[in-house]
Chains A and B, each alone.
Chain A
Amino acid sequence: MPIVEIKNVSKLFKSPSGDVHVALKGVSLQIHQGQIQGIIGMSGAGKSTLMRCLVGLEIPTSGEILFHGENIVCFDEAQKRLYRHRIGMIFQHFNLFSSRTVAENIAYPLEIHGASQAQIKERVDELLDLVHLSHKKDAYPARLSGGERQRIGIARALANHPDVLFCDEATSALDPNTMGSILELLQELNQRLNITIVAITHQLEVVKQICTHVAVISDGEIVEQGTVQDLFNTPAHPVTRNLLKSQLPSPPKIEWLDSGQPTEDLYRLNFKGDSVKQPVIAQLLRAHHVTINILQANIDSFQTMVFGFLVVEIRGSEEAKNEALNFLLENHVHWEKIT
């Protein structure tokens, strides 16, 4: 059973003048234990509304949100509070209490949950250690850097051993270096505590660096979802392609070709997993009567996965070209024709 299941959730907002704004249209998504689920979209796509529905700050107009099989949409205030003790959330602007020290901030969820002073002290020390900020225990948030504040936000969110950690644009207010270290921390927590993470973001870097799964949201709809590998390798929807634009090469230019003429023999070869490490092209050239002109190439890694692509012009007889393309497929190299 998924830990969080969003079933056909829609949300309409009515303005006082009677205009209806559709923020979410029939969104469905399953999030399983231990996943890092990214939900990526441009601003105004509906991702914040989705996040607010997930934590019970907004009630969907229709649809269900199941947490361990229970529909949180129907919860009353008391049930919602119990639910909220089982989730954690971090925010773009950290939302730390300025009147509380670092230790007191982390203690807050424990306090309202009725933990004893001794339990609080022990857990706070443990959490400070987890986010590597024990030395800032008695500082006030105003004296901390953005990265430190987010670490405290994370420690506070984890205080009650939540099943799911919701991240609402958690790295959007941070500089690239700090963002990297926060993402590393989140990934480390995911691996060490096996905590499920749901990250709403407009930053592709977040998805690229830590997510296992991703859903692309646009205009209130999830237009594409799957594992990060699949999505990055074979983005199907225009919105996804647009998001990935910075990652994809610009289309090859005719001037790069030997002939200087438009050709129908341009292919993009996608390598992933083991095929990256094999000298596939060399084998291909040895076995088949084609010549290959490499126009573009790149190799990159997302988390543990290495993948690469080549843009090539394949020249030879029709038969030889078909054989070559089949050979590529047999060797787990997916190709697409660029026209």
Chain B
Amino acid sequence: MNNDTLHLMLTLIPLELWNTCYMVIVSAAIAITVGLPIGALLSITAKGAVRDNRFYYGLLSTIVNIGRSIPFAILMIALIPFTRWVVGSSLGTTAAIVPLSIAAAPFFARITESAFMQIDKSLIEAATVMGSTPWQIITKVLLPESFSSLISGGTTLIVNLIGYSAMAGTMGGGGLGKVAIQYGYQRWNPYLMLATVIILIILVQLIQRIGSYSARCVERKIGCST
């Protein structure tokens, strides 16, 4: 490893690490903001739920399935015109946020739906019998009762987004993926390649640890596990 490589490493990696974090955090925030309400709608329009509605459930579920079934690389390319319209360019870190959010939102919708579905039906009935509106059931019962599963699901979402963001980096996005493809692969710099991969591994490990720990703290506080 020569001085040039070291120099590149020290200047590029911190910057692109920040870019990766920026992409992941912003797209996770958007995906949660969009996915959570969709998941909530799915769970309350499902068969036997408080607002059982086959039409809305079917419609939403189909949209979510379509969003989840398109491979991310294809989705990124397909969304280029849309991305250009939203952020003015289809290249760069900010531009990558658009496909990342769109890929992650349906995923989080399903995570929310399954977290809500795990809550005991009789608890929801109890809330109904106390005179709750569907909105109150979502905000005061379903959300707090499934908080620890949502944290676990959110952790999975972020870890997935780190992977996707690296893929986005290879296709014109910024972040560590860009370093890996441009310097590691195209210029055949094994040191940079290895450094990016190690940093990604550490990042994923760290986030998984924090996520699992937080979920466990919530459970321990309410006494569901020891």
Binding site for B on A (CB under 8 A): 55-57, 80-85, 87, 89, 91, 93, 95, 97-100, 108-109, 111-113, 140-143, 156
CA distance A141 to B221 in the complex (A): 11
How far does the Cβ of B169 sit from chain A's closest Cβ, in whole Å? 39
Contact B223 A142 (CB under 8 A): yes
Residues on the B chain within 8 Å of A97, using CB: 123, 141, 144-145
- Name the interface residues of B103-139: CB closer than 8 Å to any CB of A: 120, 122-123, 125-133, 136
How far does the Cβ of A75 sit from chain B's closest Cβ, in whole Å? 12
- Can you spell out 19 A-B residue pairs with CB atoms less than 8 angstroms apart? A56-B129, A57-B128, A81-B133, A84-B128, A91-B126, A95-B123, A97-B123, A98-B223, A98-B224, A99-B144, A99-B147, A99-B222, A100-B144, A108-B140, A111-B140, A112-B133, A140-B223, A141-B223, A143-B223
CA distance A116 to B129 in the complex (A): 21
Contact B129 A57 (CB under 8 A): yes
- Name the interface residues of B16-59: CB closer than 8 Å to any CB of A: none
CA distance A81 to B120 in the complex (A): 21
B146's nearest neighbour on chain A, judged by CB, is A99
CA distance A55 to B127 in the complex (A): 12
A86's nearest neighbour on chain B, judged by CB, is B131
CA distance A265 to B130 in the complex (A): 58
Whether A112 touches B145, Cβ cut-off 8 Å, given contacts A91-B122, A140-B221, A142-B223, is: no
Contact B122 A81 (CB under 8 A): no
Residues on the A chain within 8 Å of B224, using CB: 98, 142
Residues on the A chain within 8 Å of B127, using CB: 108
Residues on the B chain within 8 Å of A156, using CB: 130
Contact A112 B132 (CB under 8 A): yes
CA distance A91 to B223 in the complex (A): 21
Residues on the A chain within 8 Å of B136, using CB: 112
Q: Which of B128, B130, B223, B224 has the most CB of A within 10 A?
A: B130
Whether A108 touches B130, Cβ cut-off 8 Å, given contacts A91-B122, A99-B145, is: yes
Q: Which 9 A-B pairs have the closest CB atoms?
A: A142-B223, A84-B131, A95-B126, A99-B144, A81-B131, A140-B222, A85-B131, A109-B130, A140-B223
CA distance A97 to B140 in the complex (A): 10
Q: Which of A82, A97, A111, A113 has the most CB of B within 10 A?
A: A97
Contact A112 B222 (CB under 8 A): no
Indicate with 1 or 0, residue by residue over B150-188, a CB within 8 angstroms of chain A CB atoms. Answer: 000000000000000000000000000000000000000
Partner of A112, one of B140, B221, B223: B140
Contact A84 B223 (CB under 8 A): no
B218's nearest neighbour on chain A, judged by CB, is A99
How far does the Cβ of B28 sit from chain A's closest Cβ, in whole Å? 23
Residues on the A chain within 8 Å of B131, using CB: 80-85, 109, 112-113
B126's nearest neighbour on chain A, judged by CB, is A95
Residues on the A chain within 8 Å of B126, using CB: 89, 91, 95
How far does the Cβ of A163 sit from chain B's closest Cβ, in whole Å? 14
Contact B128 A98 (CB under 8 A): no
How far does the Cβ of A123 sit from chain B's closest Cβ, in whole Å? 14
Contact A55 B123 (CB under 8 A): no
How far does the Cβ of B106 sit from chain A's closest Cβ, in whole Å? 26
CA distance A140 to B144 in the complex (A): 13
Indicate with 1 or 0, residue by residue over B183-226, a CB within 8 angstroms of chain A CB atoms. Answer: 00000000000000000000000000000000000000111100
CA distance A227 to B141 in the complex (A): 40
CA distance A113 to B133 in the complex (A): 10
B135's nearest neighbour on chain A, judged by CB, is A112
B141's nearest neighbour on chain A, judged by CB, is A97
Residues on the B chain within 8 Å of A81, using CB: 131-133
Contact A112 B122 (CB under 8 A): no
Residues on the B chain within 8 Å of A113, using CB: 131
CA distance A111 to B144 in the complex (A): 15
Residues on the A chain within 8 Å of B122, using CB: 91, 93, 95
B122's nearest neighbour on chain A, judged by CB, is A95
Partner of B129, one of A55, A82, A100: A55
Residues on the A chain within 8 Å of B223, using CB: 98, 140-143
CA distance A98 to B127 in the complex (A): 13
CA distance A112 to B133 in the complex (A): 8
Contact B222 A142 (CB under 8 A): yes
Residues on the A chain within 8 Å of B125, using CB: 57, 95
CA distance A85 to B94 in the complex (A): 50
How far does the Cβ of B202 sit from chain A's closest Cβ, in whole Å? 33
CA distance A95 to B141 in the complex (A): 11
How far does the Cβ of A142 sit from chain B's closest Cβ, in whole Å? 3
Q: Which of A84, A99, A109 has the most CB of B within 10 A?
A: A99
How far does the Cβ of B135 sit from chain A's closest Cβ, in whole Å? 10
How far does the Cβ of B108 sit from chain A's closest Cβ, in whole Å? 20
CA distance A57 to B122 in the complex (A): 11
How far does the Cβ of A176 sit from chain B's closest Cβ, in whole Å? 24
CA distance A19 to B224 in the complex (A): 41
How far does the Cβ of A141 sit from chain B's closest Cβ, in whole Å? 8
Residues on the B chain within 8 Å of A83, using CB: 131
